Amino acid sequence: MPDALTIRELSKTYANGVQALRSVDLEIPPGMFGLLGPNGAGKSTLMRTVATLQDPDRGGVRLGAIDVLADKEATRRVLGYLPQDFGVYPHLTAAALLDHFAVLKGIAARGERRAVVDGLLQRVNLWTVRNKRLGGFSGGMKQRFGIAQALLGAPKLVIVDEPTAGLDPEERTRFLNLLSEIGEEVVVVLSTHIVDDVADLCAQMAIIAGGRVLRRGEPRSAIDSLVGKTWRKVIDKQHVVAHRERHTVISTRLVGGRTVIHVFDEHDPGDGFTAVDPDLEDVYFTTLRQAA
């Protein structure tokens, strides 16, 4: 059995009084796990804590037999982490910096290190630019470099914090494909505010906001729970406010200058609405709305 990540009653209040985590409980099995939440939800706080970079006020984290918070050294040996604000040394080449990270990861033997670094550069499709300076890399190339360094040392736990924010659609797809190729034995935690990242990739997910877990489970069963309760209508934008007064609005989206409105209702709301197949975006916004 590969190791699961268990997070128990994790709480954190910053010195300025912000409660970033409020008794977070999560059971994260091997495979891709999506941590979905809006800005300020507590995603990075949670990920930095699991990555042993900061301590919570209360609670525990285990990875299989490892007590993550007590045994940071053991955790770091099996951890790959791509932080939200991953910075590279612009004057170094991709090959040189990855080699440097490999030394830090404890891969001491030069020949072994060379093989590992070359293999990873090929895997993330940066082989042809390995001797170019990172300062000239696009956002997508930098993120692919970031996942290469996170995969050094064959980690059992990979944490990637909002890796697709700011990537163009093609680079986003490339990046998600790389993530999906990490073995099924590895716990991969992907934080994002992009619902499609989770819908496309993750077998399990949690939605967090205001430091609380609002929902957890399989995206598919969350979507199924909204079948027959999600309704759609196209309206002019000046009618949005009136609809907000009459209905539980899930989302409004501009399409070709008109507004597509989704509402939640246990029963047919009438008023010109038709039933629509729910998707994970409906789940996300319904969950956030119900918690507000």
Ligand X SMILES: Nc1ncnc2c1ncn2[C@@H]1O[C@H](COP(=O)(O)OP(=O)(O)OP(=O)(O)O)[C@@H](O)[C@H]1O
Please give the residue ranges that form the binding site for ligand X (CB under 6 A): 14, 16, 18, 20, 37, 39-45, 84, 162, 193
Nearer to ligand X among residue 163 and residue 278 (C-beta): 163
Task: Give min distance, CB of 44 to Mg ion, in A.
Answer: 3
Task: Give min distance, CB of 207 to ligand X, in A.
Answer: 11
Task: Give min distance, CB of 239 to ligand X, in A.
Answer: 31
Distances (CA, A) of 25 to 62, 63, 165, 206, 208: 12, 14, 26, 10, 11
Is residue 230 near Mg ion by the rule CB under 5 A? no
Mode of pairing for the β-strands spanning 212-217 and 248-255:
unpaired
Single out the segment in contact with Mg ion by CB under 5 A; choices: 14-22, 44-52, 144-152, 236-244: 44-52
Count the residues of the shown chain that bind Mg ion, applying the rule CB under 5 A: 3
Q: What does 80 bind: ligand X, Mg ion, none (CB cut-off 5 to 8 Å by kind)?
A: none
Nearer to Mg ion among residue 121 and residue 195 (C-beta): 195
Q: What does 143 bind: Mg ion, ligand X, none (CB cut-off 5 to 8 Å by kind)?
A: none
Is residue 192 near Mg ion by the rule CB under 5 A? no
Per CB under 5 A, the list member of 44, 75, 143, 286 interacting with Mg ion is 44
Residues that bind Mg ion (CB under 5 A): 43-44, 84
